[in-house]
């Protein structure tokens, strides 16, 4: 068994995930979006989801303190958006990519699914903070998901 941190990252990358944009409309910074793959379902009743943010993020406080946020799930042909909103300093949600969601959060146009959330809890998680959201509303459509596996983008087809 290894305890090497590089091996740990590699082993974690063996878990295939989808890719999402977490979005928020910050009163000072305006609409923001960040690429994440830590999204997960938590509870059906009440409807809860979570994601985790690295504590070194420039926008840590924005996401831990916001009342509402959005989760937009990316389709297979939205990989460029994933790269764009993962760039440090590149988190301004561009108007051509988003409409305004029901709680004022940016909602990605043509996303596979969108969840409008109220912040329910924030838990410490090592070098991340775990943000739990109560889902206030959602929508979804049929399309191929963007898959992240072993450090690269894949699609199911
Ligand atoms: C596929 C992918 C998944 C990511 N998942 C997360 C995540 O779950 N949590 C997180 O904090 N950052 C994640 N990131 C990194 C952020 O998108 C972003 O690069 C990072 O927050 C940059 O730091 P900043 O917030 O200071 O600009 C991911 C990046 C990529 C490309």
**70 pLDDT exceeds 90?**
yes
Which of 34, 128, 129, 154 should be mutated for ligand 1, with most atoms under 8 A from CB? 34
Average pLDDT, the chain: 97
Torsions phi, psi for 85 (to 5 deg): -85, 5
Pocket test for ligand 1, best of 18, 29, 37 (most atoms within 8 A of CB): 37
- Which secondary-structure segment (H or E) carries 62? helix 60-65
Domain assignments of the chain as residue spans, ordered by start: 19-146
pLDDT of residue 107: 98
Q: Is 60 in the pocket of ligand 1 (CB under 6 A)?
A: no
* Strand boundaries in the chain, DSSP class E: 17-18, 20-26, 30-36, 40-43, 48-54, 68-73, 98-100, 106-108, 113-125, 128-140, 146-149, 152-155
- pLDDT, tens digit (0-9, with 9 covering 90-100), for 142-154: 999 999 999 999 9
CA distance 31 to 136: 19
Give the domain 19-146 fold: Pnp Oxidase; Chain A (2.30.110)
The reported pLDDT for the residue numbered 157 is: 77
Question: Residue 85 has what pLDDT?
Answer: 98
In tens, the pLDDT along 74-131 reads 999 999 999 999 999 999 999 999 999 999 999 999 999 999 999 999 999 999 999 9
Q: pLDDT class for 155, splitting at 50, 70, 90?
A: confident
Cα 98 to averaged position of ligand 1 atoms, centre (Å): 19
Residue 101: the pLDDT is: 98
Instruction: Calculate mean pLDDT across residues 45-70.
Output: 98
């Amino acid at each position: 068994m290894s305890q090497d941190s590089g091996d740990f990252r590699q082993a974690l990358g063996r878990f295939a995930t989808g890719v999402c944009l977490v979005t928020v409309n910050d009163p000072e910074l305006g609409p923001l979006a960040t690429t994440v793959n830590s999204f997960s379902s938590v509870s059906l009743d009440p409807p809860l989801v979570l994601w985790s943010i690295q504590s070194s993020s420039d926008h840590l406080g924005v996401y831990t303190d916001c009342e509402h946020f959005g989760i937009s799930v990316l389709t297979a042909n939205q990989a460029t958006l994933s790269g764009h909103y993962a760039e440090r300093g590149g988190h301004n949600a561009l108007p051509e990519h988003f409409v305004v969601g029901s709680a004022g959060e940016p909602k990605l146009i043509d996303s596979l699914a969108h969840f409008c959330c109220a912040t329910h809890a924030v838990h410490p998680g090592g070098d991340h903070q775990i943000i739990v959201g109560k889902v206030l509303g959602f929508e979804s459509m049929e399309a191929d998901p963007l898959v992240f596996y072993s450090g690269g983008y894949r699609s199911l087809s």
